[in-house]
Amino acid sequence: MNLLRVFVYLPLAFLASQAATPEEIANAWRKQIAPFETVCACESGSSVENIQSTWASFTYPTNPCFKCYFPCLYRKLGLVLPDGSINRDVMIKTVLGVTGTIYDTCMAPVVKCLDPCYKIWAFDYCVSYVMNYTAVKPAITACT
Q: What is the CATH number of the domain that holds 40?
A: 1.10.238.20
Decide if 51 is inside a domain: yes
What does pLDDT average to over the chain?
A: 85
80 close to 71: Cβ distance less than 8 angstroms: yes
Decide if 1 is inside a domain: no
Decide if 121 is inside a domain: yes
Determine if residue 4 is left, alpha or beta; phi over 0 gives left, psi from -120 to 50 gives alpha, anything else beta: alpha
Is 96 or 19 the better-scoring residue by pLDDT? 96
Spacing of C-alpha 86 from chain mean position = 11
Euclidean distance between CA atoms 44 and 40, whole angstroms: 6
Question: Which tens digits make up the pLDDT trace of 54-74?
Answer: 888 888 888 999 999 999 999
Decide if 76 is inside a domain: yes
Q: Which domain does 90 fall in, by range? A: 22-131
Total domains in the chain come to: 1
pLDDT at 140 over 80: no
Partnered with residue 80 across adjacent β-strands are 86
Average pLDDT over every residue of 66-85:
95
Decide if 136 is inside a domain: no
70 close to 117: Cβ distance less than 8 angstroms: yes
Is 90 or 19 the better-scoring residue by pLDDT? 90
96 close to 24: Cβ distance less than 8 angstroms: yes
Among 95, 105, 49, which residue's Cα sits nearest to residue 73? 95
Euclidean distance between CA atoms 34 and 31, whole angstroms: 5
- Angle, CA of 89, 94 and 97, to the nearest 5°: 95
Rounded to two decimals, what is the model's pTM? 0.81
Decide if 68 is inside a domain: yes
Decide if 5 is inside a domain: no
The single-letter code of the amino acid at 111 is V
Average pLDDT over every residue of 127-135:
80
Decide if 81 is inside a domain: yes
Question: Which tens digits make up the pLDDT trace of 98-130?
Answer: 999 999 999 999 999 999 999 999 999 999 988
